């Protein structure tokens, strides 16, 4: 067995997180961010990699950040099955969009699901599946001896149908998550498989105090795949909504893509 899966197994057995920066076996051991690095690595991996990552059971990662160049965009698009070339004008537009979002506070390292949605949206090939008509979150604490609780109401549109739901939670994000799930499960039953695995908040522009922008990173899983999404807003609830909506939208995208591929295979089989 290669070194990478052995290292992960040891971390799981000892109930410890697997550090992404570990040499050879870490998730980021073979990650490349800067555009110059990525361009070189795609031409000749030996320029920036001391060994082939597959020798230890690991894999190369091309990340998206403010340091990205066209090679980063083209390579990630290829991973998503989207052919792009350096001469495609859309690549420059997407790169500029990413740099503007990064300046605003977005970070797509660890939030590749949000990046895939962004890329497909900019290319005009994304079905958003649902649209937000509005949401409201109320947090109430009646006295010092009682725990606070939150209630969220969500109104979304799926095709031409409006769905209006409400849910309660111990906090505003839990309530919002439950309300959105309730609204979506009617149309996409597999949403019930999505579990929130991690929720992180990073405060940007700390010097602004309470006016600082929060960045919310969410890690979700359906038991088979794990993905990350991101949201940024001066309002932490809205930032959470953006990341939550992306998490569910990504799951729907993958499931509906599977259905389309299955239909194509069946049709091809019938024709053959």
pLDDT surpassing 80 at residue 48: no
Place 210 in a pLDDT band, splitting at 50, 70 and 90: low
- What Cα–Cα distance (Å) separates residue 82 from each residue in 36, 71, 76, 91, 120? 22, 14, 9, 12, 9
Residue-wise pLDDT tens digits, 54-81:
888 877 766 665 556 677 788 788 888 8
Contacts of residue 112, Cβ cutoff 8 Å, sequence gap at least 6: 64, 76, 227, 228
* Integer Cα distance of 53 and 59 in angstroms: 5
Reference 176, options 156, 151, 194; nearest CA is 151
Reference 166, options 125, 142, 136, 200; nearest CA is 136
Comparing 8-17, 93-102, 147-156, 196-205, which segment has the lowest mean pLDDT?
Answer: 8-17
Contact status, residue 253 vs residue 246, Cβ threshold 8 Å: no
Residue 44's Cβ-count burial label (10 Å; 0-12, 13-18, 19+) is exposed
Dihedral angle sign, alpha carbons of residues 35, 40, 43, 44: negative
Domain-wise residue ranges, the chain: 3-104, 130-187
Contact status, residue 119 vs residue 80, Cβ threshold 8 Å: yes
The number of angstroms, rounded, from the C-alpha of 91 to the middle of its chain's C-alpha atoms is 20
* Integer Cα distance of 235 and 101 in angstroms: 16
Comparing 53-67, 110-124, 139-153, 207-221, which segment has the lowest mean pLDDT?
Answer: 53-67
Tally the residues of the chain. Answer: 272
Mean pLDDT value of segment 228-255: 95
Mean pLDDT value of segment 86-98: 85
Place 120 in a pLDDT band, splitting at 50, 70 and 90: very high
Percent of the chain with pLDDT over 70: 86
Helices 89-104, 112-122: axis angle to 10 degrees equals 130
The pairing of strands 149-158 and 131-140 is antiparallel
pLDDT at 37: 63
Contact status, residue 99 vs residue 66, Cβ threshold 8 Å: yes
Backbone phi and psi for residue 152, each to the nearest 5 degrees, phi listed first = -125, 140
Place 155 in a pLDDT band, splitting at 50, 70 and 90: very high
pLDDT surpassing 60 at residue 202: yes
* Integer Cα distance of 147 and 144 in angstroms: 8
The CATH class that applies to domain 3-104 reads: few secondary structures
Reference 107, options 115, 117, 96; nearest CA is 115
Fold of domain 130-187: Double Stranded RNA Binding Domain (3.30.160)
pLDDT at 143: 82
Residue-wise pLDDT tens digits, 35-45:
566 666 667 77
Nearest 5°: the CA angle 108, 111, 116 is 85
Contact status, residue 227 vs residue 113, Cβ threshold 8 Å: yes
């Amino acid at each position: 067995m290669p070194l990478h899966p052995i290292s992960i197994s040891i971390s799981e057995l000892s109930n410890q997180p697997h550090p992404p920066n570990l040499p050879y076996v870490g998730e980021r051991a073979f990650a490349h961010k800067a555009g110059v690095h990525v361009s070189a690595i795609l031409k000749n991996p030996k320029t920036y990699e001391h060994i082939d990552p597959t020798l230890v059971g690991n894999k190369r990662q091309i990340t998206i950040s403010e340091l990205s160049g066209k090679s980063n965009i083209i390579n990630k698009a290829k991973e998503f099955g989207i052919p792009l070339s350096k001469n495609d004008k859309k690549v420059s537009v997407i790169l500029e969009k990413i740099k503007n979002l990064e300046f605003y506070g977005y970070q797509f390292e660890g939030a590749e699901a949000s990046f895939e949605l962004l890329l497909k949206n900019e290319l005009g090939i994304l079905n958003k599946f649902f649209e937000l008509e509005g949401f409201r979150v109320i947090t109430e604490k009646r006295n010092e001896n009682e725990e606070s609780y939150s209630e969220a109401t969500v109104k979304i549109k799926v095709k031409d149908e409006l769905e209006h739901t409400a849910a309660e939670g111990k906090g505003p994000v839990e309530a919002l998550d439950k309300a959105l799930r309730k609204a979506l499960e009617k149309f996409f039953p597999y949403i019930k498989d999505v579990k929130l695995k991690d929720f992180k908040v990073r405060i940007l522009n700390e010097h602004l105090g309470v006016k600082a922008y929060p960045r919310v990173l969410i890690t979700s899983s359906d038991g088979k795949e794990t993905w990350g999404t991101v949201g940024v807003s001066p309002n932490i609830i809205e930032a959470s909504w953006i990341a939550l909506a992306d998490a569910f939208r990504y799951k729907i995208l993958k499931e509906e893509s599977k259905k389309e591929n299955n239909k194509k295979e069946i049709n091809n089989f019938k024709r053959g």
